[in-house]
Amino acid sequence: MVKVITYGTYDLLHYGHIRLLERAKALGDYLIVGVTADGFDQTRGKINVHQSLMERIEAVKATGLADEIIVEEYEGQKIDDIIKYDVDIFTVGDDWQGKFDYLNEYCKVVYLERTEGISSSEIRSKEREISLGLIGESQVLNKIINESKFVNGIKISGIYALNTKRINQENLDSYKLYSSYDELLNNSDAIYIISRPKYHYEQIKKALLNNKHVMCEAPISTSKEETEELFALAKERGLILFTAIKTAYSTAYNRLKVLVKSGKIGKVISVDATCTSLESRIDENTWSSFLEWGPTALLPIFQLLGTDYLSKSIISHIENDRDKFTKIDFRYETSVASLKVANGAKSEGDLVITGTKGYIYVPAPWWKMDYFEVRYENQSSNQRYFYQLDGEGIRYELVAFAKAIETKKNTACIIDLVSSEIANLVNDFIKQKDVKLI
Ligand code: CTP
């Protein structure tokens, strides 16, 4: 019996896939189809696969061409599978020509002609393309533009900025620069906002009233009440209002969260986060350290300990009307938390989560998390966790936003309560409530 194996994502199964499977089957007597797991696809850079693994498996099964279906979960698995299933022929479309020649050592490798004119990516991008308008003055806009290129179904509709000093020339040349926010709204299905937080409330409200979905860099606004009002408005209108903090979308951060919640380090006693940077340019686009870093540093604190803290104290060092350094201490019923943020001072940007059985250490810069360690008194029990992080998490954040719009379900990694509490802190900070100056 000649055994054949082939692999693929098989998202939105199409004619090209079926033709490939038919020819693969005809190469032998028994066909094994490897369907890629969701996490594995992400590491290969396919990040807006529409169907779940189960749906894709069902679709391959429904063709009646596969004798056996397996899941492909890790790099190097093909060699293991070929040995394990005693495979005679490995086959794949010729878009992979040459890439799998190394398998010749284990079985025969056959590249089949790819069917012209059809692909999952093409179907995905035709299905729904969200035109995303960008508003703001930050250099982060350049990253959003860049990362959007990796996400099927998102197209940048243009930019509106009060000034364009920090936007790259090639982006200014490639995208339409609108002269008013209204014009940007008229030409977009959704808006990404990274303007100064004091403008967020008005900008978000206007977008929602114009039936546009919104993704806004945290804080959503500068008060809890306004933030709650905006979430309620979005809900009422069936729109997505998404808080953007890229770290919340990193795979490592999400694994860390579930490990902590499942008791891996016992009960959490303290969360300590530091985020600092030195600004090379100081101009009207320079943010205060708390507005620049506060929401990111607050994320693990509020997500791991909740938002019901009993008291807090804020200490800031201000120069030229801008806080260069801010430290906040929180007291909870049975735990504490602290954050240090600076835009104009430098420190070790790590994250430490102290527990009753052990602790988690995330090295600097923890907000670009791709690795962390779970450490115990007995060092031989320590564990290290590595995950791929593409585009600092922005790419995954855009995918989550696009999916939320498509499915009309708010799949955000940050719940409204955390967003509102972040806004509350920003409000205290702006009003200098409980703030001591040094
Ligand atoms: N394939 C093919 N002809 C096509 C599309 C895919 O022969 N028009 C083959 C691929 O070469 C591969 C298998 O089908 O052997 C599964 O491909 P997959 O990557 O799942 O599909 P694509 O449509 O290429 O997906 P994408 O657009 O996301 O890359």
The pLDDT of residue 74: 83
What order do you get walking across the sheet with 268-277 strand by strand?
A: 383-386, 371-376, 358-362, 351-355, 268-277, 336-343, 322-331, 311-319, 435-437
Rounded distance, CA 368 to CA 354, Å?
20
- Between 16 and 139, name the one with better pLDDT: 16
Task: Write the pLDDT tens digit of every residue in 116-168.
Answer: 999 988 887 776 689 999 999 988 999 999 999 888 788 999 999 988 888 89
Amino acid symbol at 56? R
Among protein residues, the one with the nearest Cα to ligand 1's atom 16 is 8
Rounded distance, CA 368 to CA 370, Å?
7
Task: Write the pLDDT tens digit of every residue in 167-213.
Answer: 899 999 999 999 999 999 999 999 999 999 999 999 999 999 999 99
Check: CB of residue 238 under 8 Å from CB of residue 222: no
The pLDDT of residue 129: 83
Check: CB of residue 414 under 8 Å from CB of residue 299: yes
Rounded distance, CA 409 to CA 416, Å?
14
Q: Is 95 in the pocket of ligand 1 (CB under 6 A)?
A: yes
Report the nearest atom of ligand 1 relative to the CA of 122.
27
Q: Examine the pLDDT at 280 and tell me if it is beyond 70.
A: no
Q: Examine the pLDDT at 371 and tell me if it is beyond 60.
A: yes
Ligand 1 centroid, distance to 371 Cα (angstroms): 32
Average pLDDT of span 105-120: 95
Q: Is 118 in the pocket of ligand 1 (CB under 6 A)?
A: yes
Average pLDDT of span 308-331: 92
The pLDDT of residue 75: 82
Ligand 1 centroid, distance to 364 Cα (angstroms): 39
The pLDDT of residue 170: 93
Ligand 1 centroid, distance to 389 Cα (angstroms): 25
Amino acid symbol at 401? F
Among protein residues, the one with the nearest Cα to ligand 1's atom 14 is 17
Q: Is 20 in the pocket of ligand 1 (CB under 6 A)?
A: yes
Report the nearest atom of ligand 1 relative to the CA of 116.
8
Rounded distance, CA 161 to CA 201, Å?
16
Ligand 1 centroid, distance to 15 Cα (angstroms): 10
Q: Is 93 in the pocket of ligand 1 (CB under 6 A)?
A: yes
The pLDDT of residue 43: 58
Amino acid symbol at 325? F
- 166: three-class secondary structure by DSSP: coil
Ligand 1 centroid, distance to 50 Cα (angstroms): 14
Rounded distance, CA 129 to CA 50, Å?
13
Average pLDDT of span 331-347: 95
Q: Is 7 in the pocket of ligand 1 (CB under 6 A)?
A: no
Q: Is 22 in the pocket of ligand 1 (CB under 6 A)?
A: no
The pLDDT of residue 410: 77
Ligand 1 centroid, distance to 319 Cα (angstroms): 57
Percentage above 70 pLDDT, the chain: 96
Percentage above 90 pLDDT, the chain: 74
Among protein residues, the one with the nearest Cα to ligand 1's atom 24 is 119
Confidence of residue 432 (pLDDT cuts 50, 70, 90): confident
Q: Is 34 in the pocket of ligand 1 (CB under 6 A)?
A: no
Ligand 1 centroid, distance to 390 Cα (angstroms): 23
- Looking at every residue in the chain, the average pLDDT score rounds to 92
Task: Write the pLDDT tens digit of every residue in 27-86.
Answer: 999 999 999 987 766 655 566 788 889 999 999 999 999 999 999 988 889 999 999 999
